[in-house]
Amino acid sequence: MAKITLGQKLPTIGLPVVLVGAKVLGRPNFCPIAWATIIDDEPAKMAVVMAKKRKTKDGIVENGTFSINLPGANSVAATDYCGLHSGYKDDKSGVFDVFFGKTLTAPMARECPINIELTLDDIIEFEGTDMVVGDVEEVYIDEEKMTDGRPDIEKLELLMYLNPGGPYFLKGQTVAEAFKVGREYRPK
């Protein structure tokens, strides 16, 4: 098949959208982030990529803690609201029902079925963005979203986002089982 080039313009990529939470000057603040990743699983380490000016990042630096909350479809409007309104202008402390865990300073949104509590490990600076790296201290999940002792992706209905510009969507069709479908494959 013929290829055309798009230059250095990033193509459309489907990504999970997370809500990063931090306490800023005593008030919980949340912002949606699509540029998020797992760095390691044992010990668990994650990172979010943020523009230079994000009120949420100020809180991460202030307290050395933050949260990564995975919103479900029922929180789509609240999630988008947090992306449209910066904490520099608007108080977002009442958007979610907030709870705290073992770090005591990382606000988590009860409405999100999964909440990950982290301590700040490092901030890696790039030209236009900063990568905020955190060590996972605890993971919280709604009991009803579990099936046979495991998180149930169908019940979780976690929000995805088509980068850039949207829309939000949910997990699509399952194509094959990872780490299994390749077992019988033989390269040409």
Task: Annotate each residue in 127-166 with x if it binds ligand FMN (CB under 6 A) or - if it does not, as one string.
Answer: ----------------------------------x-----
- Verify binding: residue 81, ligand FMN, rule CB under 6 A: no
- We find the least distance from the C-beta atom of residue 103 to ligand FMN, in angstroms, to be 19
Task: Annotate each residue in 35-64 with x if it binds ligand FMN (CB under 6 A) or - if it does not, as one string.
Answer: x-------------xxx--xxx--------
- Verify binding: residue 96, ligand FMN, rule CB under 6 A: no
- Verify binding: residue 66, ligand FMN, rule CB under 6 A: no
User: Collapsing DSSP states into helix, strand and coil, what is residue 86?
Assistant: coil
Cβ atoms of residues 100 and 108 within 8 Å: yes
End-to-end CA distance of the chain: 18
CA-closest candidate to residue 64, choices 34, 94, 106: 106
Q: Which H or E run includes 49?
A: strand 44-51
156-169 per-residue burial string, b: 16 or more CB within 10 A, e: under 16: bbbbbbeeeeeebe
- Verify binding: residue 13, ligand FMN, rule CB under 6 A: no
Angle among Cα 139, 161, 14 to the nearest 5 degrees reads 100
- We find the least distance from the C-beta atom of residue 87 to ligand FMN, in angstroms, to be 3
- Verify binding: residue 86, ligand FMN, rule CB under 6 A: yes
Q: Which residues bind ligand FMN (CB under 6 A)?
A: 17, 29, 31-35, 49-51, 54-56, 80, 83, 85-88, 161
